[in-house]
Structure 1
């Protein structure tokens, strides 16, 4: 925004230092006057002496003589003090504000789009260094967030381009082959289109969770877990899996729709990435003094900690990128992560001993969560 030009902070500090020293000098002179010069009498009486029998009377200065001698020197001292305070204050203010100049330069670089630089202000801890360290931390987080958004945009563009390219290929083949079975073409186009719609809806849901544009309400996480398991039970039975749910009343606060989507994604992921047969999924909820905990475990392939650490990234899949009938679009755990963070919770993933994955979602206490929404 446009502002009118004003005095620099360095000049303001210089004038402040000089003014303070001048006030101190004036007060010092006032003390000299009050406690010393005021006790000197206006005139001093000297008794006459006999010049023939003794020395001449001494010359004793009175108050006017002292004032005539004192005032010029006091004025000269005040002038010297003014010049010294201005020069010293200017140098001192420059040294004091040097870290602020570096912070300002870094801020301008950031405004120009550079996020890789850091202030790295040296020296012992003080207010300027706390500000510089906080700014460096913000830059690091912002750089990581921008890099993540760029990766997400690139992956999303690739994922959205794939069904469009498949559709274009199918239409080209159909145009060049008039004897092609249109029923098969329609079925394949319907499948590709459905996948594109699922991906678009997942992206919109992820954006909604990131914006935190939802109202909070008290919810029972155990009921949400049961609803998600009941919804996906036919898919689990089709794959020969069992789903077990357990847990007492688990109160928390948030969006019922988003928390249901989060739990459904976790259960769906546990079903899809499981053993070919005789697998299992366990969904448990528990209440703790500090909040609510949802745990989803499943049997499956042996996973390495390095692979598990990347599963919550967008478009990351644990095994393969080949799309099956319910393979998803690679955003399931990314959506879970966004919804969890939007509810001020934490998400942790760990490989199960013997194969499979354990996902734990920790949400804050209902009273804390409701307080955050106010």
Structure 2
């Protein structure tokens, strides 16, 4: 079984650790006291895992208790920086030992996209609840298998859709549900940035599964869905590539439209080619909401037909997310549409976008 390090070395990328998350069996979860903290192990001690770990310092309901890494030298650093017991760090070879650790309730898989499938299933077989970074997988088939594995094991599966816990986004959803925007008429969503290092794993199809669309375009897909409260019924997409060498294996820039049952059309775009490209604009017949920046780590900014929006930006998004997920897992609080089933819906749309591009922009029915 290959580690993230092995995989990256084979592809010519830089080597860094690959971690796995794990969580409680459903029977154990039911026995947890309502005020108990969710004890989380991070799988993959890379830059995003470090962001999550930093955010969890401010969590009230979730606590970092360990990690899985292929780089032993990181153990001392992480133990010191985040106050984690060295005994709760694992290598890939002894990952399954997490099953017997009573101090671990959940695993958070932050590996490259193509590795989500394997490690979510392995964690589920250990009887651990799982949080998996988005995109959920690199194919619809993999997403379906991940959901099935977690159901069979009786554990919960959540996808790292942090925006669903972020105050500005939650207010947009509240306004839409409350009818304050009236009938939704149009959605405009785009997100992208200029990708740097040409050797990074995100530009390797074997690891990423795709390019800008899977990495950040998925925010636009998800946003169009929560902005309308509907599921798209057709997709039409086109791709542009200005650097066929750097983006030989993955997509660079994609534009697409999604049609919804009510007649609403969402116009979306994503890119790895330039910066300052981040907006969500929702127009109804009674008002509007505009978020820009809309998806980045913050601060999010917004305005509506009522004026400037002002919400708490003192916390990192991952703090909101991890406390929120802890509430879902420990206390049975309804999740804000971040289950594996939600991840599968986005994967089906991504699949349709790629099919439309391959068919020269032909409308694909869902």
TM-score normalised to structure 1 length: 0.23
* Bigger fraction of residues in helix: 1
Structure with the larger RCO, 1 or 2 (CA within 8 Å, 6+ apart): 2
Normalization by structure 2: what TM-score? Answer: 0.24
Larger radius of gyration, structure 1 or 2?
1
